[in-house]
Structure 1
Amino acid sequence: MDPLEGEASSPVEYEPVSVKDVLVEMKDTAELLIDLSYSAVLHRNADLAEEVLRLEERMDVLEMRARMSLLMAARSPDDAEQLAPVLGIVAAADQISDAAGDIAKIVLEDIRIPEAMRTALPEAVETLVRGVVSEESSYAGRTLKHIDLESETGIRVIALRRGDEWLLNPGPKTRIEAGDVALLRGPESEIGDVYRTLTGTEYRPPETETPAIEDLERAVDTILHMKNLSELAVDLAYSSVLFDSEELAEEVRNLEVEVDALESRFEAWVLRAAAEAKDPVSLRGLIHLGTSTEMISDAAVDISEGVLRDIAVHPVVGMAVQESDEIITRIEIEAESALDGTDVTGGVPDADATMSIIAIRRPDEGWLLVGDADTALRAGDVVIAKGTRTAAGQFDELAS
């Protein structure tokens, strides 16, 4: 039985709320859900999976409040035209939430998945760890600014849960308290020390083994590629709305077509692998992963639909994207700046600012999706990147 199954849904009544604030929380929640759900599968961690279902329930409430507020705001045909794409964005965030919930149920319902999946996932998923802050932790009672984790280690506190309250946008003034459930994300090389300081216990990475079946190895590689493309599609979809870019929206559509094609090949490889597997039922979880991952890419197209249809999306959406937990920024690389000639590997620039580059528009080449190829930044490049506000400010200075 699901940990939250059987609980009565709380009634949701209309109350005046900021649509922008609700959209910010929905976007941050959707992105966190993707990370949490795949990490739950990687670690076969029921605690992480239960956090996914808690957030999924929260997303349902946010969706209902957003719909109520948008219906109240539509007073004319022009309003309806501008707000229709916003309803699509709200529904898409909820669709991502549902897909993440289905992924988490692979763990909670003990739907089996091959151990080979754990071998490949660390290459595709930035390490995400859940820990409870101990009474003796040197972090307890201190603000994130005072601890300065991100600058010192590259580890970010991406969310805190304090009882039933979620803090999805922890900032410099956020204070960590003993008993908080903290979600940390960053390089695996640094996670161990931070986790030990936070919880007082050792971090144990998942054990891995090498796939023994060739078709299974192909299937695992394919599902990870699908996940990466789907996450990229979501990032580009929000970017297309923020910058009103039809080019970016078209890239989202192209990515969704690619994910559909990959899912078809993926299903064929899983079925072939089942013929050689000692226990074909152990592959059932892979099918669930494939379906849920494809749902995320479909949701990305829904986010950018207003741009694709040349409908002026309401400015509140752009404001919400710009003010979310990880903001999306657009900069142009100036000649002889600190970033001119900087190498980018796997979307991460060799620079002091901890930003993740989503895409580059190069005058002579068009759009380059950085997740698919390593490159070096050049003068004249228009860069779409994602990261914290602090890192975005530093990145902007380096580009000048």
Structure 2
Amino acid sequence: MNDLPMVVKYRPVPIKKLLRKMKDEVSIALDMAFYSLVYEDKDVAQEVEKIDVDVDNDFNLLALQLMVAARDPEDAEKLLPALRLGMSMDLATEAASDMATTVLKGYKVPKVVKAALEITEEIYVKLVVGEKLVGIKVKELKERYGLIDVIVLRRGGVMIVNPPEEVELELGDVIVIRGDREDVKKLMKDIDMELVVPEEKFTEKEKEVAFRIALLKNMTEIAFDLAVYSMLYQDPRAAEEVLEIESFMDEESAKLEMEIIKNTAESQEIYTSTVLVRSLEKMTDAATSMAQMALVENEVHPILKEVAEEGEERILVLQVVKECNMTVGQLEEMADGTALAIYLDGIWIPLPNASTELKKGMKVLLKVFNEEPEFPECIQVL
């Protein structure tokens, strides 16, 4: 958490540029905070703290820009969603900072947090660049291996957060990547390395708790993406989904905290685990704060419309209204998109397996990157 004295100085920066920058920083801060917990990496945790300070400054500047931009009370009302968006992103990076602070203080990270990495489909891996990766650009890793992002690059004692796509890897660089487990395995195989995850042996109870932590993390990311989308596009249906996720998170996080306290002996491990759970809940609360703006009839200011129009992705809420004889993977291929989560029988399943069959009554949150695709009659866009 940033406790430094607040210094605000106006400088002309486009509001939409600030909002896009803050959104990118929120995403990278969460990735880095979770990685720093799993690998107890104080250097990365320190960078999360720096991002928190940076987002604080960006939010203060955003508030000033909005004050200057508002021409009258009616215009100020239209800009209110932009202020709420900035506040929510500031709160989200504060939550990531809370997690990173436990690492900086040297508190012991419990095995269940490490196990959460081992069982989730999206994993974090640290690599030292050898000859087979030298000269490859950051963007080429994604082009070759699919869902892989370089979140941190260390070179010559300097840490580069979210390195530009055109940066070429050099011998001895240390990179932290986040990606789909199978895509990461493919990369590791090509460079003659094996995927190594924390080696502790976990009990069934620890695996269960770890699965629930991983579920909360995934649902937090989905809620945040969905909330930003609902606000920018004033989509009340998407906003309602965020509120449903928050209700699930509130109930599950309370149960999970009690389970952790009951089954953890060391006080430091209890503290670190509960900070993680509460930080994820705080981020979901921030998402809810944004989504609530989409449930109120409020004309969107042209600035926010520009942010939405320049965005490369949209999130669709789909309902399977009858049997489809189709899998999640086939839906993703048809729509050129990614299924963020499915909802069936009161249960949210984030990042569903491609082989999962679509069933009547199932709800699908689908991220698409082009024009809204056409769907068969068995699927409706809500």
**Once structures 1 and 2 are overlaid, which stretch shifts more, 58-67 or 70-79?**
58-67
Give a deviation string over 1:233-258, Cα, whole Å, max 9, x none: 11221221233221221221122122
Alignment of 1:338-377 (within 5 A): 342-344=326-328, 351=333, 355-358=337-340, 371=350, 375-376=356-357
- Residues 397 and 313 of structure 1: is their aligned pair in 2 closer, same or farther, counting only changes over 3 Å? closer
Task: Return 5+ residue gaps in structure 2 as ranges.
Answer: 377-382
Give the counterpart of 1:175 among 163, 167, 177.
167
Contact kept? 1:45, 1:107, Cα under 8 Å: yes
Name the SS of the counterpart of 2:328 in structure 1.
strand
Give the counterpart of 1:272 among 240, 262, 276.
262
How far apart in 1 are the matches of 2:348 and 2:107? 34
How much does 1:123 deviate?
2.5
**Once structures 1 and 2 are overlaid, which stretch shifts more, 219-228 or 54-63?**
219-228
How much does 1:111 deviate?
1.9
How much does 1:29 deviate?
1.1
Give a deviation string over 1:310-358, Cα, whole Å, max 9, x none: 223324335435646x73354989xxxxxx854227xx96639884223
Contact kept? 1:237, 1:301, Cα under 8 Å: yes
How much does 1:131 deviate?
4.9
Give a deviation string over 1:58-107, Cα, whole Å, max 9, x none: 21222122112111111111111111121111010011101001111222
Corresponding residue for 1:76?
72
How much does 1:195 deviate?
6.4
Contact kept? 1:36, 1:128, Cα under 8 Å: no
How far apart in 2 are the matches of 1:282 and 1:223? 14
How far apart in 2 are the matches of 1:234 and 1:91? 13
Instruction: Tell me how many residue pairs correspond in the alignment.
Output: 367
How much does 1:383 deviate?
6.6
- Residues 236 and 193 of structure 1: is their aligned pair in 2 closer, same or farther, counting only changes over 3 Å? closer
Give the counterpart of 1:249 among 224, 239, 247.
239
- Residues 240 and 88 of structure 1: is their aligned pair in 2 closer, same or farther, counting only changes over 3 Å? same
Contact kept? 2:84, 2:289, Cα under 8 Å: yes
**Once structures 1 and 2 are overlaid, which stretch shifts more, 349-358 or 18-27?**
349-358
How much does 1:205 deviate?
2.6
Structure 1 residue 283 corresponds to structure 2 residue 275? no
Contact kept? 1:235, 1:358, Cα under 8 Å: no
How much does 1:27 deviate?
0.9
Corresponding residue for 1:327?
313
Give the counterpart of 2:279 among 279, 289, 292.
292
Contact kept? 2:328, 2:358, Cα under 8 Å: yes
Corresponding residue for 1:306?
293
Give the counterpart of 1:67 among 53, 60, 63.
63
Contact kept? 1:158, 1:183, Cα under 8 Å: yes
Contact kept? 2:127, 2:176, Cα under 8 Å: yes
Give the counterpart of 2:197 among 194, 205, 214.
205
How far apart in 2 are the matches of 1:176 and 1:197? 18
- Residues 57 and 357 of structure 1: is their aligned pair in 2 closer, same or farther, counting only changes over 3 Å? same
Contact kept? 1:19, 1:66, Cα under 8 Å: yes
Whichever residue aligns with residue 314 of structure 2, its letter is I
Give the counterpart of 2:102 among 106, 110, 113.
106
Give the counterpart of 2:117 among 116, 121, 134.
121
- Residues 35 and 55 of structure 1: is their aligned pair in 2 closer, same or farther, counting only changes over 3 Å? same
CA RMSD of aligned residues (A): 4.2
Name the SS of the counterpart of 1:87 in structure 2.
helix
How much does 1:165 deviate?
6.5
Contact kept? 2:55, 2:90, Cα under 8 Å: yes
Corresponding residue for 1:184?
177
Give the structure-2-normalised TM-score. Answer: 0.78
How far apart in 2 are the matches of 1:359 and 1:115? 26
Structure 1 residue 150 corresponds to structure 2 residue 124? no
Whichever residue aligns with residue 270 of structure 1, its letter is I
Name the SS of the counterpart of 1:304 in structure 2.
helix
How far apart in 2 are the matches of 1:151 and 1:377? 28
Corresponding residue for 1:23?
19
- Residues 35 and 210 of structure 1: is their aligned pair in 2 closer, same or farther, counting only changes over 3 Å? same
Alignment of 1:38-57 (within 5 A): 38-57=34-53
How far apart in 1 are the matches of 2:213 and 2:52? 23
How far apart in 2 are the matches of 1:159 and 1:318? 29
How much does 1:304 deviate?
1.5
How much does 1:138 deviate?
4.2
Contact kept? 1:113, 1:284, Cα under 8 Å: no
Whichever residue aligns with residue 110 of structure 2, its letter is P
User: % of aligned pairs identical?
Assistant: 25
